[in-house]
Amino acid sequence: MADSSRTNKRSSVEGEAQDSKRIKTNGDEKYNPYLAHLNEDNGNYSNSPLDKMHRHNTTALEASRAEDSDLNPWTGRRHSENYFKILKTRRDLPVHKQRQEFLDMYHSTQILVFVGETGSGKTTQIPQYVLYDELPQTHGKLIACTQPRRVAAMSVAQRVANELDVQLGEEVGYSIRFENRTGPKTLLKYMTDGQLLREAMHDPEMSRYSCIILDEAHERTLATDILMALLKEIAQRRSDLKIIVMSATLDAQKFQTYFSLRKEDPPAPLLAVPGRTFPVEIFYTPEPERDYVEAAVRTVLQIHAVEPEGDILLFLTGEEEIEDACRRISLEVDDMVRESDAGPMSIYPLYGTLPPHQQQKIFDKAPEPLKKGGRPGRKCIVATNIAETSLTIDGIVYVVDPGFSKQKIYNPRSRVESLLVSPISKASAQQRAGRAGRTRPGKCFRLYTEKAFKKELIEQTYPEILRSNLSNTILELKKLGIEDLVHFDFMDPPAPETMMRALEELNYLACLDDDGNLTRLGSMASEFPLDPGLAVMLISSPEFYCSNEILSITSLLSVPSIWIRPNNNRKRADEMKAQFAHPDGDHLTLLNAYHAYKGAEQNGEDVKNWCHEHFLSFRHLSSADNVRAQLKRIMEVNEIELISTPFQNKDYYTNIRRALLAGFFMQVAMRESSNSKVYKTVKDDQLVLIHPSTSVTNTYDWVVYNEFVLTTKQYIRTITNIRPEWLLEIAPVYYDVDSFEKGEIKSALVRLNEKVRRRQAMKGGR
């Protein structure tokens, strides 16, 4: 059956392929097979086994033959010995057995859903199967495979380049922020999902690609969700574009249903490949645990006492909890070694803000027995969710899962994103358990009851799109040409209130006009990889004669904090920070620190050392520098002037403070009353305190703040003193007195208006 349908299609497909050969698709003669002989190192298409293959009508056998040949069909060079070694292991992967089945399905449909568990080889193999069927060199369109994380895009691209026996950056490449390793010969490109989205803003039809593979779609990152919706639309206009959605098994059906293009269409076809993992035995507690950290520590010690050799992975929710648990485990293990001859244990904390060299330590070997023939040592890693997806550690046999993680939640009413310790989902619990079975059969100890697992845990973690502020997303979608956001076909549509809040904010920022259309400012703002407020501030900054400085501040605000404050040296760190402090605000303090850093660099100092001495993060300062360079390029393209007020000019800092308001006029707070430390945010009247990390010692009546943080109390963090008159001048629409509820802020604005009017009248009278 399958064979005859393939033969039937052959004629028409062949016609297409020849057509596309005649057309020079991308203006680069290297891609035109008729000119290929002019190109010495790329001229083997005419003898290549690929020549006999017909696009969208190839077989697994043909591909295998091409792969087996002495000459590399993609480069014309002789295959290395290593290539054949790798080829052999590739053919042992579970996915290999289904290559023909995959091709049959790929040929018969425009969109297909592919599920494969870890170890199936889907991320490396499927794009290569597609490559041997798409034959991109005949028509010049690329194959893209997206990943949620940069490291994955880089390492998988390297792996696949090795498998195909080509140089990374040539036929196989990757593209991530700050690094594009692709070239004119590139046929297969790994990239982050965010990067593809950014490309789409300039190429909304994604016309450079003939096939787009979305990997790890089950993670449901914001970018993946937008891409899915976008691709679903594009697919209806571009019948030549193929789409593969790759996911873990659990939610395959949801993807299938979603990717049925029209209501009357059947669900998108599904291909499933088994993974290669070992069984993991699950244990539950008979009763709910009151204190999960305590229970987790106890469980780890118990494993160490009675279970055979094998490393332990414990999931907790954050840095503090992890460091605390590590200390407690370490003390107890010392006792066990002394009292009951237990084996040694190395304990490693693991969380995202840990510097990379400390993260690397988790890959150290487990310790040797203390004496010859003694009880074996083991490794215990205490990690956040980072070990659930981003980092895989081989050798884990025991997983301890208390069932919690910190999750971002967004409250559209108060417009606050915050982190909350919440129960994980079933999918997460399953993923965590799976970490125990990567190298041999393992055990997972869940510190909750089986009933709680079945009845209380939700199936899937809510996708990010339902838990985020969408201002940035909405701006991107407008730039992508989506007019009707209300009917835009998201897999999980965000709450209308979240959308309304985003539209409202973008309207106040003048990125959208009153009809919801993208303005010139909005279009320009979308070019920057920044939140809309920051982008608008940056674009407006030449009007305040300080775009150089605002560019620096913007970069510093878009990287993690540059201030280091070690627990054992807080005082010294604070003293150092005070050296950079500007009395008027933290934004200016940041700028001072950055200028000092650049100064040290220009003086030829050892900057790493200089940062260390000044309790500044070299890592984050240099990444701010990277961001600055990228933003600067975008400014130049958009002809946004780079200017400074001379430092000697008395308005140097005033201009910067005023410029901050151009993007952050909605993030202003007024002191509740003189002699109070409590502030009230404008319009939404939240009572807040200034975050203790501030370098500002004076108490000002009006401040602009960078972020609202909800922890033990409500704080505003990174603040700068402003004059309220500036608000009337810079954001007159937002500060229209009539739009304010009755209260202190409204009265203050009324008084302010009168003052301004009096002053103008006096000027006019003179």
Partner DNA sequence: GAGCACTGC
The tokens of 37 are what? 């002989």
Which residues, 220 to 239, sit near DNA by CB under 7 A? Answer: 221-223
Amino acid at 147: Q
Q: List the x/- string, 665-694, binding to DNA by CB under 7 A.
A: --------------------------xxx-
Looking at residues 311 to 340 of the shown chain, list those that interact with DNA (rule: CB under 7 A): 317-320
Residue in the structure block whose two tokens are 């940041």:
590
Residue among 187, 296, 303, 530 that touches DNA (CB under 7 A) = 530
Does 198 contact DNA by CB under 7 A?
A: yes
Distances (CA, A) of 606 to 153, 565, 610, 624: 33, 21, 6, 18
Choose which of 43, 269, 352, 376 interacts with DNA (CB under 7 A).
352
Residue nearer to DNA on the CB measure, 404 or 740: 404
Strands 702-710 and 668-671: antiparallel
Cβ proximity to DNA, 254 vs 406, nearer residue:
406
> Among 570, 572, 608, 755, which residue sits at the site for DNA (rule: CB under 7 A)?
570
Q: Closest distance between DNA and the C-beta of residue 565, in Å? A: 4
Beta strands in 296-350 (DSSP E): 311-315, 345-350
Per DSSP, the three-state class of 726 is helix
Minimum Å gap between C-beta 353 and DNA is 5
Beta bridge partners of 705: 719
Cα–Cα distance measured from residue 444 to residue 684, given in angstroms and rounded to the nearest whole number: 46
Tell me: does residue 574 bind DNA (CB under 7 A). Answer: yes
Q: Which stretch binds DNA (CB under 7 A): 219-227, 278-286, 452-460, 508-516?
A: 219-227
Nearest to DNA of 318, 585 (CB atom) = 318
Per-residue tokens: 545: 């004669």
As a whole number of angstroms, the distance between CA 291 and CA 296 comes to 9
The residue among 570 and 757 lying less far from DNA, judged by its C-beta, is 570
Structure tokens at 368: 């040797």
Does residue number 405 form part of the binding site for DNA (CB under 7 A)? yes
Q: How many helices (H) and strands (E) does the chain have?
A: 27, 21
**Nearer to DNA (CB atom), residue 544 or residue 708:** 708
* Rounded least distance, CB 408 to DNA, Å: 3
Binding mask 360-399 for DNA (x = CB under 7 A): ------------------------xxx---x---------
User: Two tokens at 726?
Assistant: 């500036």
Q: Specify the residue, 159 or 565, whose C-beta has the smaller distance to DNA.
A: 565
CA distance 118 to 93: 11
Minimum distance from residue 350 beta carbon to DNA (Å): 8
CB of 513 to DNA, least distance (A): 23
For 412, other C-beta atoms within 10 Å of its C-beta total 17
Determine the straight-line distance between the first and last CA of the chain, rounded to whole angstroms: 95
Binding segment (CB under 7 A) for DNA, from list 165-173, 253-261, 406-414, 605-613: 406-414
680 or 691: whose CB is closer to DNA?
Answer: 691
Tokens representing residue 168 in the block: 């990374």
Q: Which is nearer to DNA, 223 or 337 (CB)?
A: 223
Distance CA 59, CA 705 (A): 61
CB of 586 to DNA, least distance (A): 12
What gap in Å lies between CA 164 and CA 128, rounded to an integer? 8
* Other Cβ atoms within 10 Å of 249 Cβ, number: 17
User: Minimum distance between the CB of residue 6 and DNA, rounded to whole angstroms?
Assistant: 38
CB of 292 to DNA, least distance (A): 15
Q: What is the dihedral of CA 551, 552, 556, 562, to 10 degrees?
A: 180
- Which of 529, 542 has the CB closer to DNA? 529
Residue from 142, 176, 228, 337 touching DNA (CB under 7 A): that is 176
Please choose, out of 32-40, 68-76, 195-203, 227-235, the segment that lies near DNA by the rule CB under 7 A: 195-203
Nearer to DNA, 469 or 645 (CB): 469
Residue 189 binds DNA, judged by CB under 7 A? no
Q: Is 540 in the site for DNA (CB under 7 A)?
A: no
CA dihedral 356, 123, 439, 435 (to 10 degrees): 60
Question: Contacts with DNA in 413-472 (CB under 7 A)?
Answer: 419, 472
Q: Which stretch in 216-224, 230-238, 299-307, 595-603 sits in contact with DNA by CB under 7 A?
A: 216-224
In DSSP notation, 673-713 reads STT---EEETTT--EEEE-TT----S--SEEEEEEEEESSS
Among 709, 719, 722, 728, binds DNA (CB under 7 A): 709
List binders of DNA among 727-756 (CB under 7 A): none
By CB under 7 A, the count of residues binding DNA is 46
User: C-beta of 602: minimal distance to DNA in Å?
Assistant: 28
**Distance of closest approach, residue 530 Cβ to DNA, in angstroms:** 6
Nearer to DNA, 554 or 655 (CB): 554
Binding to DNA by CB under 7 A, coded x per residue (else -) over 542-561, reads ----------------x--x
Q: Which stretch binds DNA (CB under 7 A): 79-87, 335-343, 403-411, 485-493?
A: 403-411
CB of 114 to DNA, least distance (A): 22
Give the Å distances, CA to CA, from 722 to 434, 653, 696: 53, 11, 13
Could you count the other beta carbons within 10 Å of the beta carbon of residue 390?
Answer: 14
Site for DNA in 126-165 (CB under 7 A): 148-151
Q: What is the CA radius of gyration of the chain?
A: 29
User: CA 368, 369, 372, 373 torsion: positive or negative?
Assistant: negative
Angle at which helices 547-557 and 652-664 pack, to 10 degrees?
Answer: 50
**Which H or E run includes 421?**
strand 416-423
Structure tokens at 170: 């040539």
Q: Would you say 380 and 422 are in contact if contact means Cβ atoms under 8 Å apart?
A: no
- Kindly give the interhelix angle for 471-479 and 222-237, rounded to the nearest 10 degrees: 20
Rounded CA-CA distance 671/703 in Å is 8
Q: Which residues lie near DNA (CB under 7 A)?
A: 148-151, 176-177, 192, 194-195, 197-198, 221-223, 317-320, 351-353, 384-386, 390, 405-408, 419, 472, 529-530, 558, 561, 565, 570, 574, 691-693, 709, 711-713, 715
